[in-house]
Structure 1
Amino acid sequence: MIDDTLGSMLLCQRGWAKLPAMVASVPAFRFVDLFAGIGGFHAALSAYGGECKYAVEIDPAAARVYERNWGYDPLGDITKHANDDTMAVPEHEILAAGFPCQPFSKSGAQRGMEETRGTLFWNIARIIEERRPKVVILENVRNLAGPRHLHEWQVIIETLKDLDYRVSETPAIFSPHLLPPERGGRPQVRERVFITATHNPNGIGDGLPVGPVAFSNKAIDGWEPKEEWHLEDLLDDSHNIPGCELTSAERLWIDAWNDFVEIMWERREGRRLPGFPIWANSWRDYRDPIPPGTPAWKTSHLRKNYEFYRAHKDVLDAWAEKWGVFTDAFPPSRRKLEWQAQDTPRLWDTVMHFRPSGIRAKRPTYLPALVAITQTSIVGPRERRLSPRETARLQGLPDWFDFGDQRPGATYKQMGNGVNVGAVWHILRAHVERDEEILKTTPEGRSILHAVLDAAPLSPDGILAAMKPTA
């Protein structure tokens, strides 16, 4: 249930049921949602009391899901909506964008507006230049802040500064697993870079120091992710969800390696499996010298596998024979186990991923990031893959969120491309706290301050749950 204090601040948008103690009112702020996907930014910003004035998404399937849930058809091309000749984006106070990162031309090393031309960031910058939103929040993969993209990072930061925005040169990296559930956190390691900026033409508190960002990659409120998360917090009870079943071949691979884990657990008297990848193929070559020129990392793994095989040759040979590990039933990538599940005694008690490099097993606490391709997590205790609904929960979307009749593969892709709602909620709150001195100087800024810091709870979950659309 939502606190009564939210009443006048939350917009009852068209098609949504009224919330308890809520009256329709002027929205706290207007926002635009660029590269909108299925609406992760929309979920957080509307829950803060904002009204979406414009959204754009080029993928038709994602746009259909967005319209189905938020009542706005975002299908379109930002390069046609925001350029030198056209500005179809209306006035707004907050601009949000989970934008694709493209390499910028380094000719001339201008690191300014012109250097971004021809990229999608240039279209974002054109909107900012024309509309001057009070707050900008951009999201991207962590690699944007890595050494390979240093030039792109500097261009983005310098462009925002040239447009009179207060922005940190230090990346703000955050993941939803660092937030406890009562702050909208989710058991998913999904590190993303957030660039947040406030329009600051008067230079109030300008010159952010280079150094750690207050809301960057650290757990909140003493939360201990490795100890306190468990996937049971979001899983459905059912073992049988259409489209999530394991194939007979997949069950064979898991059963075989589960047997291996149990054998080694008993043989090693309860000591955890080695941390290096177990390569069954290497056991067949254990007498051969390692070829010259083999990379150091591979040499190390091979030596450890040879030693492991020599110590347990009798049971390993019997195990491989029993399960047909060296037959066509086991592709090379399924003859390798990457054990990251610590003291878990059974493979079926872990979360697994069928990767090109092998089968990776982790404790059933939090998951690696959802990805927009294959490798959907297999939940051992459920003997199936994560369901589309469960992936939506991992991204912070409420259970009423509707994907229509689209195939599960499309939903997995959209979740892998999406932004986590709780992470956006937290980052925006931290940013507004940081730039409070600037925001309180204008009516629009004060409205954002009130909506984010005064009227909203610490988590968007209760608000979003109550936003279920009317029939």
Structure 2
Amino acid sequence: MIQTYKPRLVSLFSGCGGMDLGFQSAGYDIVWANDIDQDACATYRHNIGDIIEGDVTSQAVPDLQKVDVLTSGFPCQPFSNAGSRRGTSDPRGKLYENTMEFVEKLQPKVVVIENVRGLLSTKVDDRTLIDVLEERLESLGYFVQHRLVNFSHFGVPQNRIRVLVIAVRNKEWLPGVFPEITVGKDLSLKATLKGLTKKHLNQTELMRLNPQALHYGSMIPPGGSWKSLDYEILPERWKKIRDNMAKYHYPNFFRRYAPDEISGTITAAFKPENAGVWHPVESRIMSVREIARIQTFPDQFEFKGRTVKSKYQQIGNAVPPHIAFQIAKQINSLLNNQSNAHQRILPESHELNVNRPLHKQPPEILSRFEVAIAAE
């Protein structure tokens, strides 16, 4: 049958595959992917396909022809309020330079970078890191835009604010390269977690908490936090904070979102003290599957890893597949409108394409993700 050209994707800092799942579901061939985390790579191989495991700084840029899109989600912790905030003084804060090396050698038509809002304020000498990134990309012949977006505006059921940087070779693509805002979907926790049972993959996996955390967390009402508790029952260290909230920047420990609220940001540091990880109505934190739902991973996507904690970290570090799918579709429309010269005849089943990582799951499992998105 006749199909339009399937764009070729190179993925850096791929993690467990949130970005890559979205692009793959939109019809891309993932020709090279890399991550350093052993557990994330195990999840990626189980659900998506081949991935090079190892430090990107020790990886030679692959000899690839016709790379259409390069994605990069270099570690955000050095720039994040939830992380170290050490910026480029953290060795991980300089991994963007490896992204630039890949871009320079592979010359993709489009570059997509996703990161935390700290990218806009982190300094490199006397400039912000976002300025450095854009100037580097422009020097390599790209036209660049960045936007600060809340992923909930695009159908992701959490208030996750991130910076998207998209660079293109063709200047005419720039106005239409970002996806359009999605409205009208119920993003509440009640709707997001609806229908989950213990039979769902990873649903019975919960991180173990200390008795004190369980004690105080169980007393917090839906929609509340540690501020909902009577002063007299607080531990002494919490009383000191309550006595001088301004000094401690008004922390909101043990946030429990109500069923009709949208979740806050799912983070890699899945700590009940600092993140809204409590189940909206039950006296426990949310399961691996529940936070995967909030991150828009399909229920058939199974998380692997040596510990439950590593699975929480993988999900928190991931780009929600839903937003990745929308970005991928938008770019795909531009790539396919560029020229029909790339059209080719593909076999009815193109799972045997040697340039494409093979699913270890039946292909129909993850294709349901595309069907679900299309139906919204």
TM-score by length of 2: 0.70
Distance 1:165 1:53 in 2: 22
- Segments of structure 1 that go 5 or more residues without pairing to the other structure are 1-6, 10-25, 104-117, 180-184, 262-271, 282-319, 338-354, 448-460
Counterpart residue identity of residue 238, structure 2: S
Distance 1:186 1:46 in 2: 18
Q: Check 1:428–1:166 CA distance in 2 against 1; reply closer, same or farther (3 A cut).
A: farther
Measured after TM superposition, the shift of residue 336 of structure 1 is 7.8
Measured after TM superposition, the shift of residue 429 of structure 1 is 3.8
Q: Check 1:253–1:439 CA distance in 2 against 1; reply closer, same or farther (3 A cut).
A: same
Residue 5 (structure 2) pairs with residue 35 (structure 1): no
Measured after TM superposition, the shift of residue 246 of structure 1 is 6.7
Q: Check 1:380–1:230 CA distance in 2 against 1; reply closer, same or farther (3 A cut).
A: closer
Counterpart residue identity of residue 254, structure 2: I
1:220 aligns to what? Answer: 182
Deviations 1:233-282 (A, max 9, x none): 32524699353577654454245555xx9xxxxxxxxxx99x9956855x
**SS of 2:30 mapped into structure 1:** strand
Distance 1:444 1:141 in 2: 38
Deviations 1:279-325 (A, max 9, x none): 855xxxxxxxxxxxxxxxxxxxxxxxxxxxxxxxxxxxxxx4xxxx1
The higher radius of gyration belongs to 1
Q: What does 1:17-416 correspond to in 2, within 5 Å? A: 28-82=6-60, 87-91=61-65, 92-100=67-75, 119-146=94-121, 151-168=128-145, 171-179=146-154, 185-200=155-170, 204-205=171-172, 215=178, 219-221=181-183, 223=184, 229-235=188-194, 236-237=196-197, 241-243=204-206, 249-254=212-217, 256-258=219-221, 277=227, 320=232, 325=233, 330-333=235-238, 358-364=253-259, 365-376=261-272, 377-404=277-304, 406-416=306-316
Q: Check 1:64–1:334 CA distance in 2 against 1; reply closer, same or farther (3 A cut).
A: farther
Q: Check 1:132–1:445 CA distance in 2 against 1; reply closer, same or farther (3 A cut).
A: farther
Deviations 1:120-151 (A, max 9, x none): 22222222222211111111111112375752
Distance 1:164 1:384 in 2: 51
Q: Check 1:174–1:429 CA distance in 2 against 1; reply closer, same or farther (3 A cut).
A: farther
**SS of 2:14 mapped into structure 1:** coil
Q: Check 1:70–1:147 CA distance in 2 against 1; reply closer, same or farther (3 A cut).
A: closer
TM-score by length of 1: 0.57
The structure whose RCO (Cα within 8 Å, separation 6+) is larger is 2
Instruction: Give percent identity, aligned residues only.
Output: 25
Counterpart residue identity of residue 142, structure 1: R
2:367 aligns to what? Answer: 463
**SS of 1:37 mapped into structure 2:** coil
Q: Check 1:255–1:161 CA distance in 2 against 1; reply closer, same or farther (3 A cut).
A: closer
**SS of 1:362 mapped into structure 2:** coil
Q: Conserved in 2, the CA contact under 8 Å of 1:278 and 1:336?
A: no
Residue 327 (structure 2) pairs with residue 422 (structure 1): no
Measured after TM superposition, the shift of residue 391 of structure 1 is 1.7
Alpha-carbon RMSD across the aligned residues, in angstroms, is 4.1
Distance 1:380 1:257 in 2: 10
Distance 2:159 2:341 in 1: 34
Q: Conserved in 2, the CA contact under 8 Å of 1:58 and 1:76?
A: yes
Q: Conserved in 2, the CA contact under 8 Å of 1:38 and 1:414?
A: yes
Q: Check 1:444–1:63 CA distance in 2 against 1; reply closer, same or farther (3 A cut).
A: farther
Counterpart residue identity of residue 197, structure 1: A
**SS of 1:382 mapped into structure 2:** coil
Distance 1:462 1:403 in 2: 14
Distance 1:8 1:439 in 2: 13
Deviations 1:373-399 (A, max 9, x none): 132511131322111112222222222
Counterpart residue identity of residue 157, structure 2: P
Distance 2:240 2:342 in 1: 58
Q: Check 1:148–1:445 CA distance in 2 against 1; reply closer, same or farther (3 A cut).
A: farther
Distance 2:366 2:54 in 1: 32
**Paired residue total:** 320
Distance 1:332 1:253 in 2: 14
Measured after TM superposition, the shift of residue 32 of structure 1 is 0.9
Q: 33-42 vs 402-411, which deviates more?
A: 402-411
Q: Conserved in 2, the CA contact under 8 Å of 1:145 and 1:153?
A: yes
Counterpart residue identity of residue 234, structure 1: L
Distance 2:312 2:239 in 1: 23
